[in-house]
Amino acid sequence: MLRALLLAPPGAGKGTQGELLAAERGVPHFATGDMLRRHVAEGSDIGTRAKAYMERGELVPDEIVNQLVAEAIGGDQPLDGFVLDGFPRTLEQAKLAYEWGQANNRTFNAVVSLAVPEAELVRRMLERGARDGRSDDTEETVHRRQMVYDESTKPLLDFYRERAILVEVDGVGTVPEVADRIRAAIDALAATD
Ligand code: ADP
């Protein structure tokens, strides 16, 4: 059963590829950014606390995100399989997820990193901002989010490389091309059965 994580900078296509991968493998897809945006739209307690961070392009505090994910994949009957996109994003989150996985016999078995050059990321996000009106896809916030990724999330690549579950995929190409590469890379990792 696939328990995968998509680890990539903002604009790399995590959401699109995460949904495709989850549908193909018959597991649910959880995107913390989407979950948080739903809370903001509903005006829930979590949404109220998260909103300002998201608008500045900063990370929402670990405790909020950890709770959201724990409710989604944990609970009385932890899920066997899932695709997570946008979590973990800090070493703290990664350590917590790893402890949860060990305690529940459900450590991640594939971490997909999508590599896309920064200029292409910025171009895609500004295009998305103009098309979908996502309020954090403005020029200033886009740069801030790239910096936050480099500082807080990039170190996770080493964390998962050491655990031998990291696959690095070229994220430049059409959606089906990138999906093919992800499929091939995951199939090459024996542990996902
Ligand atoms: P992107 O990867 O393009 O930044 P997301 O939808 O994944 O888009 O995330 C949007 C925002 O939601 C982030 O900038 C951050 O504020 C918040 N967020 C999402 N996931 C996390 C997380 N795991 N930890 C902290 N903040 C998060």
User: Residue 31: helix, strand or coil by DSSP?
Assistant: strand
What is the predicted pLDDT for the residue at 7? 96
How far apart are alpha carbons 120 and 33 in whole angstroms?
A: 21
Ligand 1 contact, 33 CB (< 6 A): yes
Q: Does residue 186 surpass a pLDDT of 60?
A: yes
Q: Does residue 95 surpass a pLDDT of 70?
A: yes
Which of 6-15, 20-29, 33-42, 124-133 bottoms out in mean pLDDT, i.e. has the lowest? 124-133
Specify the ligand 1 atom closest to the Cα of 87.
Answer: 23
Which position among 3, 25, 106, 145 bears the catalytic label?
A: 145
What is the predicted pLDDT for the residue at 139? 87
Mean per-residue pLDDT for 4-14? 94
The rounded percent of the chain whose pLDDT value lies above 90 is 85
Q: How far is CA 164 from CA 1, 32, 94, 120, 124, in A?
A: 17, 24, 15, 28, 30
Mean per-residue pLDDT for 38-62? 97
What is the predicted pLDDT for the residue at 94? 97
Give catalytic status of residue 56 as yes or no. no
Which position among 134, 144, 161, 183 bears the catalytic label?
A: 134
What is the predicted pLDDT for the residue at 189? 87
The phi and psi torsions of 104 (rounded to 5 degrees) equal -105, 10
Residues 99-127 have pLDDT tens digits of: 999 999 999 999 999 999 999 998 988 89
What is the predicted pLDDT for the residue at 181? 97
Place of tokens 């328990």: 3
Give catalytic status of residue 14 as yes or no. yes
CA-nearest of 193, 189, 176 to 21 is 176
Mean per-residue pLDDT for 86-98? 96
How far apart are alpha carbons 165 and 160 in whole angstroms?
A: 6
Residues 147-159 have pLDDT tens digits of: 999 999 999 999 9
Ligand 1 contact, 64 CB (< 6 A): no
pLDDT band for position 191 (cuts 50, 70, 90) = low
What is the predicted pLDDT for the residue at 133? 83
Task: Output b/e per residue, 136-151; b: 16+ Cβ within 10 A.
Answer: bbeeebbebbbebbee
Whose Cα sits closest to atom 6 in ligand 1? 33
Give catalytic status of residue 154 as yes or no. no
Ligand 1 contact, 87 CB (< 6 A): yes
Residues 54-83 have pLDDT tens digits of: 999 999 999 999 999 999 999 888 999 999
How far apart are alpha carbons 28 and 79 in whole angstroms?
A: 9
* Helices (H) then strands (E): counts for the chain: 9, 5
CA-nearest of 38, 39, 3 to 18 is 3
Mean per-residue pLDDT for 88-106? 95
